[in-house]
A and B are shown apart, each in its own frame.
Chain A
Amino acid sequence: DTGVSQNPRHKITKRGQNVTFRCDPISEHNRLYWYRQTLGQGPEFLTYFQNEAQLEKSRLLSDRFSAERPKGSFSTLEIQRTEQGDSAMYLCASSLDFQPFDRPLAEQYFGPGTRLTVT
């Protein structure tokens, strides 16, 4: 059973450096989501893609953050000029969702996350 995978699982970087994370969704899933989770909190939505199109971005996603899903399969999340406040678990999820855009989202399947520590 190939679920959602994320790489790397852990990343330690110095403030000011750029980092990139990768997410490989479940193969037939058309939607892919990124979330950020800090200690003691639930995940917070960052952005999502339907196939290769980025359809929604949270206000949490500052200009230093960029996400891509170039061929509608895997996705990357890049953080430029990292800050200590970026330290968090970054979660990726995918879903098979053909609901009209005015209907609630279908259930999502999550990867294990990438833990980022900015020193």
Chain B
Amino acid sequence: AQSVTQLDSHVSVSEGTPVLLRCNYSSSYSPSLFWYVQHPNKGLQLLLKYTSAATLVKGINGFEAEFKKSETSFHLTKPSAHMSDAAEYFCVVSSARQLTFGSGTQLTVLP
């Protein structure tokens, strides 16, 4: 069995400040992990993926995530938030059978 816990349902940051979205996972074997972003009225877009290569993964739009096996975490970060980053973010764990999504973190970027 696998599961994903996104530790914050809402995060607010000011434009230009760092972003941290937290994710913990549980998996019975070495998983693949993803972050997806969902803007209103748009489809889910893949931000980045971890597939057992480098533990620090760089994605699109300046986002990156670090896989920490000892902490079973895969937190998403960005050094400087932009207004266009406001959206819902999903941490996802992949097994051989399906993707399991977290419940999402709504990111608000304040001017």
Where chain A touches its partner, the secondary structure class is: loop
A: number of interface residues (CB 8 Å): 28
* Cβ-defined contact, B46 with A107, below 8 A: yes
Is A3 an interface position by the 8 A CB rule? yes
Kindly state the separation between the CA atoms of A3 and B44 in the bound complex, as whole angstroms.
Answer: 12
* Cβ-defined contact, A104 with B51, below 8 A: yes
Query: A76-119 CB contact bits vs B (8 Å, 1 = yes)?
Result: 00000000000000010100000101111111111111000000
Residues of B within 8 Å of A111, CB to CB, are: 43
- Partner-B contacts on A (CB < 8 A): 3-4, 33, 40-45, 48, 56, 58, 91, 93, 99, 101-113
Nearest first, the 10 A-B pairs at minimum CB distance are: A42-B101, A104-B32, A110-B44, A104-B94, A45-B98, A110-B43, A112-B43, A105-B94, A43-B101, A42-B90
Q: List 21 A-B contacts (CB under 8 A).
A: A4-B43, A42-B4, A42-B101, A43-B90, A48-B98, A93-B44, A104-B31, A104-B32, A104-B94, A104-B95, A105-B32, A105-B94, A105-B97, A106-B32, A107-B34, A109-B46, A110-B36, A110-B43, A110-B44, A112-B41, A113-B43
